[in-house]
């Protein structure tokens, strides 16, 4: 019998940015009893507060320490402490067993298992494992199958295949490779962070894949309606970190269109929301982590304007926020408030 606790639920997942404390102001010095700090410290309190905000906004789950979460910029102890704190914070806020995923962004097989062991102890239910792409063109589909199989065989958590060619030297997991990996009992889904909607649809509709235990998520809310209408489970995307209710409502309408059908006014709403979300996604794609962090600060009030850790500190170019807000963010902000 299928163990449903192993399967990530359908819906809108948010890859949360990792929050950092502001840089020390001039004339202040770190604790002399502690080692000198090069990077800004993790702001665990804000991380927990933003996670509770997302849970209250109706998103299905949160992905900690993915690409948006800058997992590669944190130490092992920082990652463990952050995940543990978020789990405790959600529990204390009335969200026991809230769905949490965490990113595994390393090419080393043994190290990937270390990350997964740490996450399991910290209370995460799923690992989102990035395709190993350091050697890029040398990584073939057979190598991907063997690598993911070795990870899944030994992982304490069920895992999802995370395919983000933009950060893995162009490595792309092909539809026929997902077909093989989906047979593994502990490989329970995938996140496709690329614009190839055909791959989403091929995998989501592949009759050789057991879709009751393998979920397909897009990494882009701009694709939500189209991919959900053809069998995908939802999205894992940074936009709902800023506008969670809007993306959740879009997901609800797409699911209803698939099952019960929509009234004319609901179909109009679905199209309006998908248009607004697709426009807003351009902002996320253009400015990446720095843009997401600035928008989270300006729209929902979490974090600061110092960007990420080195080598991606800073804020948007001068005037960029006003320009994108005027073009499309303002419209979706009004939608968010109405929901």
Q: How far apart are CA 142 and CA 180, in angstroms?
A: 10
Q: Both tokens of residue 94?
A: 């009335």
Burial class of 244 by CB neighbour count within 10 A (0 to 12, 13 to 18, 19+) = buried
User: Is 323 designated active site?
Assistant: no
User: Is 191 designated active site?
Assistant: yes
Which entry of 186, 191, 213, 293 is annotated as an active-site residue?
191
Rg of the Cα trace of the chain? 20
Q: How far apart are CA 252 and CA 10, in angstroms?
A: 11
> Is the separation of the CB atoms in 6 and 213 below 8 Å?
yes
Q: Which residues pair with 128 in a beta bridge?
A: 103, 160
> Is the separation of the CB atoms in 191 and 217 below 8 Å?
yes
* Residue closest to 4 by CA, chosen among 159, 213, 187: 213
Q: Where are the beta strands (DSSP E) in 30-137?
A: 61-64, 100-104, 126-130
Q: Which residues pair with 126 in a beta bridge?
A: 101
Which entry of 162, 164, 178, 287 is annotated as an active-site residue?
162
Please identify every residue annotated as catalytic: 162, 191
């Amino acid at each position: 019998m299928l163990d449903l606790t192993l399967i990530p639920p359908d819906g809108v997942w948010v890859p949360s940015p990792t929050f950092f404390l502001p840089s020390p102001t001039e004339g202040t010095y770190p604790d002399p009893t502690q080692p000198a700090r090069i990077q800004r410290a993790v702001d665990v309190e804000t991380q927990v507060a933003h996670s509770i905000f997302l849970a209250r906004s109706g998103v299905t789950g949160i992905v900690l320490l993915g690409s948006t979460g800058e997992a590669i910029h944190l130490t092992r102890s920082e990652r463990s402490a952050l995940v543990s704190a978020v789990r405790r914070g959600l529990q204390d806020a009335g969200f026991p067993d809230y769905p949490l995923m965490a990113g595994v962004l390393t090419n080393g097989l043994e190290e990937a298992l270390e990350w997964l062991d740490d996450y399991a102890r910290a209370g995460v239910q799923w690992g989102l494992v990035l395709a190993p792409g350091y050697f890029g063109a040398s990584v073939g589909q057979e190598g991907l199958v063997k690598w993911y199989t070795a990870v899944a065989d030994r992982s304490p958590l069920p895992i999802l295949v995370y395919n983000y060619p933009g950060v893995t030297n162009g490595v792309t997991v092909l539809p026929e490779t997902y077909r093989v990996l989906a047979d593994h009992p502990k490989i329970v889904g995938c996140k496709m962070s690329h614009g190839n909607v055909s791959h989403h649809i091929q995998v989501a509709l592949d009759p050789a894949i057991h879709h009751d235990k393998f979920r397909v998520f897009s990494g882009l809310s701009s694709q939500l309606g189209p991919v959900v209408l053809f069998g995908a489970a939802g999205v894992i995307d940074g936009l709902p970190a800023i506008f969670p209710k809007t993306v959740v409502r879009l997901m609800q309408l797409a699911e209803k269109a698939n099952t019960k059908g929509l009234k004319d006014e609901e179909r109009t709403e679905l199209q309006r929301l998908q248009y607004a979300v697709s426009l807003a996604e351009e902002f996320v794609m253009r400015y990446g982590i720095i843009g997401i962090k600035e928008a989270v600060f300006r729209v929902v009030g979490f974090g600061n304007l110092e960007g990420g850790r080195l080598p991606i500190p800073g804020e948007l170019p001068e005037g960029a926020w006003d320009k994108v807000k005027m073009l499309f963010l303002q419209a979706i902000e009004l939608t968010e408030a109405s929901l």
